[in-house]
Structure 1
Amino acid sequence: MYLIKTPHFIQNLFPHFTWRIPTEEKQIFLTFDDGPVPEVTPWVLEQLKQYNAKATFFCVGDNISKHPEVFQQVVDAGHVVGNHTMNHLNGWVTENITYFHNIRQGASQSKSVLFRPPYGRVTPKQTQFLLRHYRIVMWDVLSGDFDTNITPEQVLKNVVQNAGPGSIVVFHDSIKSKERLEYALPRVLEHFAAEGYSFDALHPQEMFETELVHQRA
């Protein structure tokens, strides 16, 4: 089971995680987990380019090392890269030292201080350590494109009905998600572009400055 829309009470329980960007502007922050892979990621880049959209790719380090040319395509297109561990480890079932070492390996591949824990699963003790070194990015809306039990139409509906100004939306540039992603992503881009939204990447420094302004307001 998973939640499409992250409830505010959960976001408030973990205020040091970035769940959304506090803005009233028509901005959406699309993110893509688990790539880069040649079967999906270049197609995603083409879709984004059509709308002058920038996104954030939380990359698995092992995929970066296997497909460096695809990773370079992401960087060259002006998108932001984040760390999704080296081997897509689940923090709830991984010893801390092993987990931290795997994250460092992923960071060495991605060269990023942005970190998204696979499955969104990270323990309080792991969080304490990670916040000293990384900015932990979660999400406001989960598309569900990884779920083989739902239709592509439902993935589209999940995003269109739940995303709004400042939402961080999760897709997956993975082979498992390919069928649902290929249906939903172009339609999400078309829908929100028609509504006057821009699609922006998560920049660590800008995120920090925005949060400071929000805290002082």
Structure 2
Amino acid sequence: MKGMKWLCLLIVLICSCFFTHINASADLIKRKEVEPTGQVVWEVPTSKKVIALTFDDGPDPKYTPQVLELLKQYGGHATFFEIGYRMEQYPEIVKQVVQAGHELGNHSMTHQYANKTGVKYMSLDIIKADQIIQKYQPDRLKLFRPPGGYIDTALLQETKQLGYKVVLWSYHQETKDYTLPGAQVIADHIIRNARNGDIVLLHDGGGDRSQTILALKSILPALKQKGFQFVTVSELLHIQ
């Protein structure tokens, strides 16, 4: 009987965790429902050989300049979804990004996940980061990438009111470079799966990004040889 009691308790706990997860996830946006509205972008269907490389969690004084140098070497532009407090820490790096012709995107002020903070906190976080971005790159298309890719219907509506377009990434191009799978693994994945209009997620900040840098040294020449041009997300959105 005692064993049966513990078994029943375990079943109750598992069910509780399962339904809690379902309830917590219930309001997360579904791509098939949101994509037709144009409020969230994963990639852009096009016949042109263009691809948008994006870099999250910077700026970083060690890795961001290396990314900039590689992009310059291969004549490419990219979008950097930067964190507000890091922009405050490294203003010179932000200037380098903008002066090199790249684009700044909003990755929030403190990099908190929306499913943990709520829409009010995230709204203020977006506004604070926006105030910093406007100092360097005013009057541009406003692009927001939610930390962790977490966005629900309430936050989606809030970002729309703030004048932002939400930019995620092509699911077939999620390399998870932040897990340090190896430079060759990152490079092979992106090169093998490259399609016209892709938005590729990479990271130039938030930890050891040496593998990402090494991967770029293979990715950029390989994709250029395939005929791809490297564009910003804004440029990608305006391609006919």
Q: TM-score, normalised by structure 1?
A: 0.86
Contact in 2 for aligned 1:39/1:175 (Cα 8 Å)? no
Aligned to 1:21: 44
Aligned to 1:105: 128
Aligned to 1:200: 231
The residue matched to 1:36 in structure 2 has which SS? coil
Question: Equivalent residues in 2 for 1:20-99 (5 A)?
Answer: 20-99=43-122
Q: 2:147 matched to 1:115?
A: no
Cα distance in 2 for partners of 1:175, 1:33 equals 8
> How much has 1:11 moved relative to structure 2?
3.8
After superposition, the C-alpha distances for 1:47-104 in whole angstroms (9 at most, x for unaligned) are 0000110000001011111000000000000001110000111011112211110111
Question: Equivalent residues in 2 for 1:121-140 (5 A)?
Answer: 121-132=150-161, 133-140=163-170
Cα distance in 1 for partners of 2:189, 2:111 equals 24
Unaligned runs of 5+ in 2: 1-29, 135-139
Contact in 2 for aligned 1:40/1:175 (Cα 8 Å)? no
Unaligned runs of 5+ in 1: 1-9
Cα distance in 1 for partners of 2:217, 2:33 equals 34
The residue matched to 2:205 in structure 1 has which SS? coil
Count of paired positions: 199
Q: TM-score, normalised by structure 2?
A: 0.78
Contact in 1 for aligned 2:57/2:206 (Cα 8 Å)? no
Q: 1:118 to 1:29 in 2, by over 3 A?
A: same
* Structure with the greater alpha carbon radius of gyration: 2
Identity of aligned residues (%): 33
Q: Which of 154, 157, 174 is 1:142 aligned to?
A: 174
Q: Which has the higher helix share?
A: 2
Comparing 92-101 with 49-58, greater Cα deviation is found at 92-101
Contact in 1 for aligned 2:51/2:229 (Cα 8 Å)? yes
After superposition, the C-alpha distances for 1:124-159 in whole angstroms (9 at most, x for unaligned) are 1111121222010010122221013x2222111221
Cα distance in 2 for partners of 1:177, 1:186 equals 16
The residue matched to 2:233 in structure 1 has which SS? coil
Aligned to 1:7: none
Contact in 2 for aligned 1:17/1:138 (Cα 8 Å)? yes
> How much has 1:110 moved relative to structure 2?
1.5
